[in-house]
A and B are shown apart, each in its own frame.
Chain A
Amino acid sequence: MSRVPYLAGKYKIRMAATTRKKEQRICTCKVLLNGRVAPHVQANIVKEMLKHLMLQRNQIPMAYEQMKYEYERRQCGSAAATSRENGKHKNQQELSSSVYKRLGQLITTVEEQLANIDAVFNLSFVPRVLILLGATAVSPKEVHEIVFSNQASVHDGSLVDLRTKHCVRALMRTLIADSSIWEAKQLPLTNTLLLVRAHRDSGLTWFQPKMSLKGAPSRGQLYRCEIHCGHVENSLGCAGDCSKLLNGNDEHRSDCVHGQGNNKTDNGQATMESVAESDDYIWYQAPVPIKGVQPFAAKAPSASDIWA
């Protein structure tokens, strides 16, 4: 009988360990933009983020713009010209026509999505954007969430207008210096899905409403990128110029920092955020997923290759 409590205890410990494993770990990084971020600039931020993620997560062989340039140049018949940028000597290899076709499809899909991102930001406030990597919207391998906070500041006349270049630079600096995505292991080729949260009555036609989706999917690792617009000192309690970023150590504490910040925010922001969380804002999904292409995927030698 004396063994029973011991066994029960052991079982409990094991259960706790498995449930803890299931909890989704959230990695947050922040971009502070001290000024007015117009909707079209917000759209550009999302577009750059999408391009960056496709490259970073191994879904396209080189930076998107470069790839597009190469593709168009080849299509113009100047395939003989060599490219030496960034030491990408591998792209001199002859692409098979099927890969070439797939690259073309990818570029068409991405261009369509980029154009429609602009359209969404014109029509509605977009408090959140999701970029999912995985087969379907409910079972992604990775979730990247872009959260715009204090979007109401766009009506604040006292703020300085920020230019796209400036904002994107701040974003890239954060993504490269602060994001924990670099520690994650590489993904296999999969689909990239774009979802935006917009108003029910915004009249979006290209995006398809996904009313069954409530929040970010609980499956897969969640990377959140918070973009603070307007008075940064208001929302975070720390003064600083717009490009000043939190250092890496703060990254893991960012959730609690944000929590404190919320208490200090003015009423305008609070109402805006509660509106954005309300029932009137729903998720819209881009109708076509972006299918990753990796023409020169270096296949790791598997055990069967050695034994064959």
Chain B
Amino acid sequence: MNCHVVLHKLKDMYRVTDLEDALPVTPAKSVHVEVCQNPCSTVHRESIKDHVTKLLHRQRVSYGDMNLTEFDDPYLKEHVKWIAICDTELDGSGKQAIDLCQSELHLHVFQLSNEEPGMEELEGEEMAAASHWLLPAADFEGIWDSLVFDTHIKSHLLHYATTTLLFSDCKVDPNIISWNRVVLLHGPPGTGKTSLCKALAQKLCIRLSDRYTYGQLIEINSHSLFSKWFSESGKLVMKMFQKIQELIDDTDALVCVLIDEVESLTAARKSSLNGTEPSDAIRVVNALLTQIDQIKRHPNVLILTTSNVTEAIDLAFVDRADIKQYIGPPSASACFKIYHSCINELMRARIISPAQQLLDLRALEVMRFIENDATKLSLKLKEIACKSEGLSGRTLRKLPFLAHALYVKANPVSLEDYLNALSDAVDKQFKERQQLKDT
């Protein structure tokens, strides 16, 4: 039997016109592309999408994440600030080549709002009860990318949010499957909990720009919700949530409520029963819990909370949180990534000069960590990163500054000298910590 006959038989058996059709279909990889429109551009989003799709098809392949800020197309030059193919590495698979022509492109076109945060005041109170950002805000640009976590925290949170919306869209009965729209991030100070909340809100607004015309982030100032008048604090919480309710009523808006240091509002009621704590504090917790139950009915709201002291939080609140994510200090590889981005920034600003290529961890791994002229400095940086394990993200981000302030005398400085200074700064940081412990 020749080949032709086999094909014919197959065609008859499976009723396919082409053998290719009989092959299992590989699902197209979906790629998220964020397009930041110029603040003064007024063109339709659809036409921008057309131009960007054409550009990406011309580009053909992206190796991992990609940022484009320079364009040949005069239309894009005029109307687009940057294009980013992002979050392709979130699932931990590392950099991979992405065929842009074959994958499913999700284009998110948005404009940044550069307004100052508004203050939300309650009647009769002098202090602002909340600050209020219109998202996507220029203030939060780049936070998401600057946060480095080891596990898949970012992708988990994104998936959590999309599932929440999917369930609301499909009208899943919340009495049968209940979810509370509350995320609790906890962990030691300086690990990026608050930043992650802000970045997540921004990210969601960009990703969902087709669905919600704008987003809002309301950062509740917990201290302003306590009144000097006995029994008034619970009412202030109620008033605050009434204001939030007004914002949620606009179904075109995605509302993210951020309660930083949530333990100040949800102090464990048990401990206050026998202590000197006034019963007013209990009322605040009660009011907050009932209000959360009230607003979770709405599909366009998400409550993001952070805490350092998890033991102090009321159990009823912890139980309401859908995601209780621990965020620990960065590991050595995360430290390396953070330093790497810091040094690149310093090279961009020409504080470290001449600019030299630093290899990332994956490239070093490929080279099997063998020291030669090309890898010497990168290995040095890796050594510093290993030494810095245990420091918080906030400390890591300020160390490049301290290193320059304390140990660098020249301007501009060479990369090698700078790395030595950074190493000294790390040592000093640990020494200070030890001294603080001893006293």
Pair B40/A205 contact, Cβ less than 8 Å: yes
Please give me the residue from chain B that is nearest to A141 by CB atom: B121
Residues in B36-54 with C-beta less than 8 Å from chain A: 39-45
Q: Are B42 and A138 in contact (CB under 8 A)?
A: no
B120 touches which of A135, A191, A214 (Cβ 8 Å): A135
Q: How far does the alpha carbon of A191 sit from the alpha carbon of B43 in the complex, in Å?
A: 29
Specify the chain A residue showing the minimal Cβ separation from B111.
A211
| CA A163 to CA B45, docked complex, whole Å | 41
Asked if residues B132 and A139 are in contact (CB atoms below 8 Å), the reply is yes
Residue of A nearest to B215 (CB): A212
Once the chains bind, are A188 and B40 in contact (CB under 8 Å)? no
A218 with B118, Cβ < 8 A, contacts A136-B132, A208-B39, A209-B42 known: no
Complex contact B246–A211 (CB within 8 A)? no
B247 and A200 within 8 A (CB)? no
Give every chain B residue within 8 A of A191 (Cβ-Cβ).
118
CB pair B249 A200 closer than 8 Å: no
Kindly state whether residue B250 has any CB partner on chain A within 8 Å: yes
Contacts of B171 in A (CB 8 A): none
Tally A residues with Cβ within 8 Å of B. Answer: 26
Is B267 interfacial (CB 8 A cutoff)? no
- Chain A contact surface mostly: loop
Contact-residue size bin, chain B (C-beta under 8 Å from the other chain): 20 to 34
Interface residues of A in 128-172 (CB under 8 A from B): 134-139
A138 engages B214 (CB within 8 Å): yes
Q: In the assembled complex, which residues on chain A have CB atoms less than 8 Å from the CB atom of B148?
A: none
Contact with B along A183-213 (1 / 0, CB 8 A): 0000010010000000011000100110111
Compute how far the CA of A279 lies from the CA of B44 in the bound complex, rounded to whole angstroms.
9
B343 touches A (CB below 8 Å): no
Nearest CB in chain A: distance from B222 CB, A: 19
Q: B214 touching A212 by the CB < 8 A rule?
A: yes
User: A219 contacts the other chain (Cβ, under 8 Å)?
Assistant: yes
Please determine whether A188 and B247 come into contact, CB atoms closer than 8 angstroms: no
Contact A214 B43 (CB under 8 A): no
**Interface membership of B69, Cβ < 8 A:** no
Cross-chain contact B40 with A208 (CB below 8 angstroms): yes
B42 near A201 with CB under 8 A, answer: yes
Whether B250 contacts A209 by the Cβ 8 Å rule is: no
Picked from B40, B118, B132, B253, the residue with its CB within 8 Å of the CB of A209 is: B40
Q: Given A212-B111, A214-B252, A219-B247, verify A135-B118 contact (CB < 8 Å).
A: yes
How far is B120's CA from A252's CA once the two chains are assembled, in angstroms? 31
Report yes or no: B228 in contact with A304, Cβ–Cβ below 8 A: yes
User: Could you pull out 12 A-B pairs where Cβ atoms are within 8 angstroms?
Assistant: A22-B246, A22-B249, A135-B119, A138-B134, A138-B214, A139-B118, A139-B247, A208-B40, A209-B41, A209-B42, A211-B111, A279-B44
- Other than the given A209-B111, A211-B45, 10 more pairs (CB < 8 A) read A22-B246, A138-B214, A139-B132, A191-B118, A200-B43, A201-B42, A211-B42, A212-B213, A213-B214, A214-B252
